[in-house]
Amino acid sequence: MDNQDLKIGFVGSGNMARAIIGGLIGSGHPPQRLAAADPDSTQRGRVQAIHAGIRVTDNNDVAVDGADVVVLAVKPQIMADVVSALTGSAGQGGRAYLSIAAGITLGRLQSALGTQTAIVRAMPNQPAQIGAGMSVLTATPATDARQKARAQYVAESMGAVAWIDDEALMDAVTAVSGSGPAYFYLFMEMMADCAREMGLPADLADTLVRQTAFGAGRVALESGLELDKLRAGVTSKGGTTAAAIDVLEQSEFRAIVARALLAARDRSTELGKIG
């Protein structure tokens, strides 16, 4: 079966689910092969607005009926109840489940769906909402190569994809990639504030920061160069950049970043044990 022939059912129709749906349709997946369930009529309407051909319902069983891939996109606190109600069709036809719920481990999903069910856990991040995300995937031993490929096809609608074998590393992924956009936004926010304090008009300060962040990110992604080499390429000895970098280094900026990421990782571990 070609991936574009896959029937994909969504349980939950929030921002991430709609990002996946929009990405799939944008890449040519037939909307008639997509179904989405949500108890909230507003959310259902937002899905229907993406394309009239998508089957939209308030019944989870209807959305997943006959699906090759089921995307679990509900809030972590209600995941157990929702998944338990789907157990009757858990292993149907080699189906794969793709969970994008933060903190919900494969073990918790297996306890409801069964140890022989193909389950893939994904950790996406906020830029997935515009197709520029980074998703890290891991799977249960029962998930075969074909089912992994199908889950990856769905995840790629959100952006880049990587796989890990050790699910325990998902807490580090959460700290670096899942929470990561907020760190950049904070740094951008602080730069824009300082730019205004130095006298730049607010709109220009904002534009300079946003465009600089965009350009630096694109160069980092597309150049293939090591990050330290990219930094060195902008940092002339005795120049303005060097003066700024010296202040950051003397302020133990690296240690601050390390402590921040470790705190995020440890909190992710704690949250994964709740429930």
Give per-residue pLDDT as tens, 159-196.
999 999 999 999 999 999 999 999 999 999 999 999 99
- In the chain, list all ranges with CATH 3.40.50.720: 3-168
Q: What is the pTM of this model?
A: 0.90
What mean pLDDT do residues 143-165 have?
97
* Band (2; pLDDT cuts 50, 70, 90): confident
- In the chain, list all ranges with CATH 1.10.3730.10: 178-273
Q: Domain 3-168: which topology? A: Rossmann fold (3.40.50)
Longest alpha-carbon distance in the chain: 68
Rounded distance, CA 29 to CA 113, Å? Answer: 27
In the chain, the DSSP E strands lie at 8-11, 34-37, 55-57, 69-72, 96-99, 118-123, 133-139, 159-163
Across the beta sheet with 69-72, what order do the strands follow?
55-57, 34-37, 8-11, 69-72, 96-99, 118-123, 133-139, 159-163
Give helix then strand counts, H and E, for the chain.
Answer: 12, 8
What mean pLDDT do residues 74-97 have?
80
* Band (107; pLDDT cuts 50, 70, 90): very high
User: How wide is the angle at C-alpha 100 spanned by C-alphas 35 and 176, nearest 5°?
Assistant: 150
Would you state the pLDDT for residue 266?
94
In CATH, 178-273 is 3.40.50.300: no
